[in-house]
A and B are shown apart, each in its own frame.
Chain A
Amino acid sequence: MTAPASTPAARERDLKAALKEAAFAALITFGLCIPIIAWGTRQNMDNVLVLDPRWDAVAWAVAIVFVGRFLVALRQQTKDKRKPMVRLLPHGTVGFFQRHSRLFSLFGLGFLVTFPIIAINLAGWSGALKWIDNFGVQILIYVMLGWGLNIVVGLAGLLDLGYVAFYAVGAYSYALLAKNFGLSFWILLPLSGILAAFWGMLLGFPVLRLRGDYLAIVTLAFGEIIRLVLINWVDFSGGYAGISGIPRPTFFGTPFNASDTGFAAKFGFEFSPLHRTIFLYYVILALALITAFVTLRLRRLPVGRAWEALREDEIACRSLGINTTNTKLTAFSIGAMFGGFAGSFFAARQGFISPESFVFMESATILAIVVLGGMGSLWGCAIAAIVMVGGTELLRELDWLKQVFGNEFDPTKYRMLLFGFAMVVIMIWKPRGLISTREPTAYLKEKKAISADMVQEGHG
């Protein structure tokens, strides 16, 4: 582990430095632990605060940090600068995937199209519901949201912390218009997208002059405003109670129910609630693929190049005759449009929506998907969405851990801890996201991926 120090003295010095570093990290951890972990708080029968000392937990935390930091420090001393600290995948894996990205795209597409059939075959008709709905549909919604936000953050470099607002606009558009006017899913899907795009523009105008931190704060506030309006304007949106009984999507007019005119009866199947889930799965799959297709097309169009140029250098853009106002607004509105599509799908799938579904945490999750995936990369977003959303869902499946840690152990409670851990690992291992290279949009002789070191992250 503590590889080559030429003399014993040098080696000792290395150990000393590592120990010092580890001790320092442990001290900081200890300091942080005192207010957070050292005392558990609860109320007793008389509503008086009771502090339960938990010094054993503190000791564990400090010990883990000490040992971990010590090992990392030792490792860093012998580290070749060019080599990554941890190599999870064999050398050249990423390059291999990138060279054959077309093949893998086709393979992935094939898997996605046949996923419901695979799930039914493996888990049976009753067990497949969970896999198709909780994993398939849920992940695809986030993939789509990630790809939508990717246009704003990844391509145009505008940090948007309130993306969930557009998701909410889409969802409430569908819910209200479908309930009050009885319009069908297929009319409302594009309409909610357009409404969300309109709100995207509305947000765009006031923030045009803002950059960086200021832009992030205003978009964050915008997300909160939409949510607070939905909570407080009870006549319009039902407030906290939300909207229930939202009409479910039909198979082009044929409802999914057990009646004689239902989908199953019409097509001669035995009725199963799974039909609708499978239908929804294919709808969101199609929506996600449209998002990907449009994004790929846009990147090759002047508007896409202008977004990326804007991320690289706004002043140079202006000197080349690019209207940066319009360019930013199109990025906001097209990104918002995909959020709106996803939102209306979400409302149709759930049949019930409330402001609870559109909290800041959602924006953070979607942004994390974009950032972890590698800004601008569709593959990266998809992988990050699978890991983040699929990972959380998988925690629910870990019931067997109860046998190890006792019955009170609930793996889903560790969601945020793992979330944070994943962030830290990515920050250390791949600071620019899983797939950090940029694909050029045009080439003369050969297409060379551009290293992340060259690419700007945008100034907001």
Chain B
Amino acid sequence: MVTASPAPLLQVEHVTMRFGGLTAVNDLSFEAHKGQITALIGPNGAGKTTVFNCITGFYKPTEGMITLTQESGDNFLLERMPDFRISWKAKVARTFQNIRLFGGMTVLENLLVAQHNPLMIASGFTFLGVLGIGGYRAREKEAIEKARFWLEKINLIHRADDPAADLPYGDQRRLEIARAMCTDPVLLCLDEPAAGLNPRESHDLNTLLLSIRKDLGTALLLIEHDMSVVMEISDHVVVLDYGTKIADGTPAEVQADQKVIAAYLGVDDEEVEAVEAEVGIT
């Protein structure tokens, strides 16, 4: 068991997200710690991706507070920041459920776009770069080296100069993770990284995620349906059902939780009456 640092890296407190009359996330609170892999699971439509969108600034939560505390002690209230600043300042990166790569750009270019902000400063916000003054060339070389590091890590170095749309599905998934990692995040949010992968690719993904956690100390927050991934690598599991947290604990604890089993598998016929009485349907 990894010891949790005193101030959690990410603290989600009483977050509620309503779309008109629909409450997608209801009073959700959980924490993610540095150097840990936190999994967010739940049946389809439980509100997992909505939580992600709130954390990464794509949605503004209706209620609640999301705090990110970096190692330096800087605090960021994510629910108040625009999405691009969350990535740039608070260092939260994300991937998408349906892969969103820049298909017409090469694999290398995808990784360079991810280093936009530091390169932008190096190019003197374009003014110096156009005139060819300043250290942009050198910084671009460093950026390419960083991209090379990640390409070697995800085993795609031989495809560096091919368009991203040309890659097979599994490679695209890994490239998206590498692209997110090129922003130097302290928290990486992965939305179903194992979806559509075969068992072998799924295994490679586990290795990659564990190595990201171990070598770079990046905390991971992942949504996943593939229980082999969740149970194998996560330190901490949060279970959502209909926008409400129903369980929170280690994988073993969650696996044994009756509510979780009921949410995933339903309940026996004999128990239906008891459950209905509990909820108030006669």
Binding site for B on A (CB under 8 A): 294, 297-298, 300-303, 305-306, 308-309, 311-313, 315-324, 330, 438, 440-448, 450-451, 454-456
Contacts and interface: CB of A to CB of B under 8 A. Distances in A.
B229 interface: no
A301 B136 contact: yes
B65 interface: no
Contact of A444 (B103, B108, B164): B108
Contacts of B180: 319-320
Nearest to A453: B165
A442 B146 CA distance: 14
B183 A320 contact: yes
Contacts, number: 141
B123 interface: yes
B144 A308 contact: no
Contact of B105 (A294, A308, A447, A448): A308
B103 A321 contact: no
Interface stretch (B10-18, B86-94, B194-202, B211-219): B86-94
Given A303-B126, A456-B103, A448 B83 contact: no
A293 to B, nearest CB: 9
A336 B183 CA distance: 31
Nearest to A305: B113
Contacts of A444: 108, 144, 148, 157, 160-161
B108 A322 contact: no
Given A301-B123, A445-B161, A322 B104 contact: no
Contacts of B100: 313, 315-316, 319
B123 A313 contact: no
Contacts of A322: 84, 113, 116-117
Given A442-B109, A448-B161, A312 B116 contact: no
A421 B115 CA distance: 45
Given A308-B102, A319-B56, 9 more contacts: A297-B129, A302-B115, A305-B105, A308-B109, A313-B100, A316-B100, A318-B83, A446-B161, A451-B163
B94 A456 contact: no
Contacts of B112: 302, 305, 441-442
Contact of A320 (B58, B113, B164): B113
Which of A303, A317, A320 neighbours the largest number of chain B CB atoms within 10 Å of its CB? A320
B162 A448 contact: yes
Contact of A443 (B106, B157, B179): B106
Contacts of A294: 130
A333 to B, nearest CB: 11
B41 interface: no
Contacts of B157: 444
B108 A443 contact: yes
Nearest to B119: A302
Contacts of A309: 102, 105, 113
B101 interface: yes
12 contacts: A297-B130, A301-B119, A302-B116, A308-B102, A308-B104, A313-B101, A318-B87, A319-B180, A320-B93, A444-B144, A448-B161, A450-B163
Contacts of B177: none
B114 interface: yes
B257 interface: no
A442 B102 CA distance: 14
Pick the most buried of B103, B105, B123, B129: most chain A CB atoms within 10 A of its CB.
B105
A317 B56 CA distance: 13
A84 to B, nearest CB: 21
Contacts of A438: 104
A131 B161 CA distance: 44
Given A319-B56, A447-B161, A454-B103, A303 B120 contact: yes
Nearest to A327: B116
B273 interface: no
B129 A319 contact: no
Contacts of B30: none
A298 B183 contact: no
B166 A454 contact: yes
B104 A320 contact: no
Contacts of B136: 301
Contacts of A448: 106, 161-162
Interface centre among A309, A319, A324, A443 (most CB of B within 10 A): A319
B144 A321 contact: no
B168 to A, nearest CB: 14
A442 B108 contact: yes
Nearest to B56: A319
Contacts of A323: 84
A320 to B, nearest CB: 5
Contact of A330 (B109, B123, B126): B126
Contacts of A297: 129-130, 132
A309 B83 CA distance: 16
B126 A321 contact: no
